Amino acid sequence: MASSRFPNKPMAKINGMPMIGHVYHRARMCKNLSDVYVATCDKIIIDYVTSIGGKAILTKNTHETASERIAEAFQIINTSNLISYNSIMLIQGDEPLLNPIVLDEMIGFHNNKSSGGITNLICEINDIDIFNDPNVVKVVKNKDGRILYFSRSAIPYNFKGKNKIFKWKQTGLILFDIQALEIYAKYNISELEKVESVDMNRALENNIIINAYPVKEMSHAVDIPEDIIIVSELMVKDILTKLYLN
């Protein structure tokens, strides 16, 4: 709930429903997710999710990254659940227009990768202002689709200005093999993670493979209060919203 740019963001109402409710219902529409849990350190979110019949895990309030939070949540689930999981997907709670079809396609992509590890959905950047915005995490990948680095700087830098470069940004959709998540959680905050304030750099610095799942465009996320108005208007024409919002 502690967002400097948007306090109490997960519980912000969008067309009468808290944002976290929209994300939860849409994640439940994903055919390849066997279970959906909301991991949070806020009791108010726990109470809301359980009130709509959802599953929620109360975590510590000391986590600095979402990846650390889901690692703890998985440990809690794993000790109290007889079901065995092969992977776990991190879905940020600020994606109220989340498309479950994209999740299904991303899971299929990940499952077909022999390298396993981690898959991060990345989105193409077509706006130079977004490319230069330090609040947007940029991604560089190799020819095989493995991510080389995450940075808040505008990378790759077109030094001669003559070359066509592909510009990508990180999104909050990250799929972990269970083993990769457990290994990631054992490491302390890395230097490049600290410098860039990007938790996935911890995985890269410790030789955990991260595959990129690239898409041309992504749904509108909520970063600031003004985004609520935009998303509310988009939901009026959204087919999925009508399936769960009465």
At residue 80, the 3 state secondary structure works out as: helix
Output the six-digit token pair for 236.
């009026």
pLDDT surpasses 90 at 96: yes
Percent of the chain whose predicted confidence (pLDDT) is above 90? 84
Q: Which residues is 212 bridged to in the sheet?
A: 120
Q: Which residues is 13 bridged to in the sheet?
A: 18
At residue 3, the 3 state secondary structure works out as: coil
Q: Which residues is 109 bridged to in the sheet?
A: none
| pTM for this predicted structure | 0.91
Each residue of 186-223: pLDDT tens digit? 999 999 999 999 999 999 999 999 999 999 988 888 98
Mean pLDDT of 77-99: 89
Residue 52 in contact with residue 42, Cβ under 8 Å? Answer: no
Rounded Cα–Cα distance for residues 135 and 227 (Å)? 15
| Backbone phi and psi for residue 84, each to the nearest 5 degrees, phi listed first | -100, 130
Residue 131 in contact with residue 125, Cβ under 8 Å? Answer: yes
Count how many Cα atoms sit within 13 Å of the Cα of residue 52 in the half-sphere of its side chain.
22
Average pLDDT, the chain: 93
- Confidence category of residue 5, pLDDT binned at 50, 70, 90: low
Percent of the chain whose predicted confidence (pLDDT) is above 70? 98
Each residue of 129-159: pLDDT tens digit? 999 999 899 999 999 999 999 999 999 999 9
The residue extents of the domains of the chain are 9-219
To which CATH superfamily is domain 9-219 assigned?
Spore Coat Polysaccharide Biosynthesis Protein SpsA; Chain A (3.90.550.10)
Rounded Cα–Cα distance for residues 55 and 78 (Å)? 14
